[in-house]
Chain A
Amino acid sequence: MDSAFIISAIITIVGISTPILLAGLGELVAEKAGVLNLGVEGMMLIGAIAGFAVTVYTGNPWLGVVGAGVAGALSALLFGFFVLTLNSNQVATGLALTIFGTGLSSLIGLSFVGRIVPQFGSVFPRELATDPIGRLFFGYSPIVYFALIMVVLVAWFLKSTRSGLILRAVGENDLSAHSIGYSVIAVRYAAVAFGGAMAGIGGVYFSLVITPMWAERMTAGRGWIALALVVFASWRAPRLLVGAYFFGVLMWLELNAKAGGLSFLPGAALIPSQFWAAMPYLMTVVVLALISMRDRIGSNAPACLGKPFLPAT
Chain B
Amino acid sequence: MRIKLEKRPEPSRLMLVITPIASVLLTMLVGVVVFDALGIDGQRAVVDIFLTPLLASYKWQDVAVKAAPLIIIGLGLSIGNRANVWNIGAEGQYIIGALCAAGIGIAAGTSGGPFIMVLMVLAGIAGGSAWASVPAVLKTRLGVNEILSSLMFTYVALQVLSYLVGGPWKDPNGRNFPATAPLTADQALPLLPFTSVHLGVGVALVLPFLFWLLMSKSVFGYQIRVVGSAPNAARHGGFDSNQTVWLAMLIGGGMAGLAGALEFAGALKTINLGFPSGYGFTAIIVSFLGRLHPIGVLIAGIVLAVTYVGGQVAQTTVHIPNATAGIFQAMMLFFILASDIFVRYRVRFIPAAKSAPAAGE
**Residue B26 interfacial (CB < 8 Å):** no
Q: How far is the CA of A86 from the CA of B138 in the complex (A)?
A: 32
Q: How far is the CA of A102 from the CA of B145 in the complex (A)?
A: 26
Q: Are B153 and A100 in contact (CB under 8 A)?
A: no
Contact with B along A278-295 (1 / 0, CB 8 A): 100110110011001101
The smallest C-beta distance from B160 to any residue of chain A, in angstroms, reads 7
Query: What DSSP secondary structure best describes chain A's contact surface?
Result: helix
Pick from B88, B322, B326: contact of A99, CB under 8 Å: B326
> What are the residues of chain B within 8 A of A293 when measuring CB–CB?
142
Stretch at the interface among B53-61, B122-130, B186-194, B331-339: B331-339
**Residue B329 interfacial (CB < 8 Å):** yes
Q: Are A93 and B159 in contact (CB under 8 A)?
A: no
Pick from B86, B148, B330: contact of A96, CB under 8 Å: B330
Pick from A36, A110, A281: contact of B147, CB under 8 Å: A36
> What are the residues of chain B within 8 A of A284 when measuring CB–CB?
148, 152
Q: Are B338 and A86 in contact (CB under 8 A)?
A: yes
The verdict on A100 contacting B340 (CB below 8 Å), with A91-B88, A274-B163, A277-B159 known, is no
Q: How far is the CA of A86 from the CA of B148 in the complex (A)?
A: 24
Stretch at the interface among B93-101, B222-230, B255-263, B280-288: B280-288
Q: How far is the CA of A295 from the CA of B331 in the complex (A)?
A: 37
> What are the residues of chain A within 8 A of B40 when measuring CB–CB?
107
Interface residues in B132-179 by Cβ distance below 8 A to A read 134, 138, 142-145, 147-149, 151-153, 155-156, 159-160, 162-163, 166-167
Q: Are A107 and B320 in contact (CB under 8 A)?
A: yes
The smallest C-beta distance from A224 to any residue of chain B, in angstroms, reads 6
Q: Are A306 and B327 in contact (CB under 8 A)?
A: no
Q: Are A295 and B338 in contact (CB under 8 A)?
A: no
Q: How far is the CA of A289 from the CA of B139 in the complex (A)?
A: 9
Query: What DSSP secondary structure best describes chain B's contact surface?
Result: helix
**Residue A108 interfacial (CB < 8 Å):** yes
Q: Are B147 and A306 in contact (CB under 8 A)?
A: yes
**Residue B324 interfacial (CB < 8 Å):** yes
The smallest C-beta distance from A37 to any residue of chain B, in angstroms, reads 12
Q: Are B156 and A282 in contact (CB under 8 A)?
A: yes
**Residue B341 interfacial (CB < 8 Å):** yes
Q: How far is the CA of A278 from the CA of B162 in the complex (A)?
A: 11
The smallest C-beta distance from B52 to any residue of chain A, in angstroms, reads 18
A108 closest partner in B (C-beta): B38
**Residue B300 interfacial (CB < 8 Å):** no
Q: Are B337 and A107 in contact (CB under 8 A)?
A: no
> What are the residues of chain A within 8 A of B149 when measuring CB–CB?
285, 288
Q: Are A292 and B323 in contact (CB under 8 A)?
A: no
> What are the residues of chain A within 8 A of B324 when measuring CB–CB?
103, 106-107
Interface residues in A164-186 by Cβ distance below 8 A to B read none
Q: Are A224 and B151 in contact (CB under 8 A)?
A: yes
B282 closest partner in A (C-beta): A99
The smallest C-beta distance from B62 to any residue of chain A, in angstroms, reads 20
Q: Are A91 and B329 in contact (CB under 8 A)?
A: no
Q: Are B142 and A289 in contact (CB under 8 A)?
A: yes
Q: Are A95 and B284 in contact (CB under 8 A)?
A: yes
B321 closest partner in A (C-beta): A106
The verdict on A282 contacting B152 (CB below 8 Å), with A103-B327, A288-B138 known, is yes
> What are the residues of chain B within 8 A of A281 when measuring CB–CB?
152-153, 155-156
The verdict on A100 contacting B152 (CB below 8 Å), with A91-B88, A289-B144, A292-B142 known, is no
The smallest C-beta distance from B112 to any residue of chain A, in angstroms, reads 30
Q: How far is the CA of A38 from the CA of B167 in the complex (A)?
A: 32
Q: Are A92 and B284 in contact (CB under 8 A)?
A: yes
Pick from B323, B331, B333: contact of A106, CB under 8 Å: B323
Contact with B along A281-313 (1 / 0, CB 8 A): 110110011001101000001000110000000
Q: How far is the CA of A150 from the CA of B162 in the complex (A)?
A: 36
Q: Report which A residues bind B (CB closer than 8 A).
A: 36, 38, 82, 86-89, 91-93, 95-97, 99-100, 102-104, 106-108, 110, 216-217, 221, 224, 227-228, 231, 272, 274-275, 277-278, 281-282, 284-285, 288-289, 292-293, 295, 301, 305-306
Q: List 25 A-B contacts (CB under 8 A).
A: A86-B337, A88-B337, A95-B281, A96-B285, A96-B330, A96-B333, A99-B282, A99-B330, A103-B323, A103-B326, A103-B327, A107-B40, A107-B320, A107-B327, A216-B321, A274-B159, A278-B159, A281-B156, A285-B134, A285-B144, A289-B138, A289-B142, A289-B144, A292-B144, A293-B142
Q: Report which B residues bind A (CB closer than 8 A).
A: 38, 40, 86, 88, 134, 138, 142-145, 147-149, 151-153, 155-156, 159-160, 162-163, 166-167, 281-282, 284-285, 288, 320-331, 333-334, 337-338, 340-341
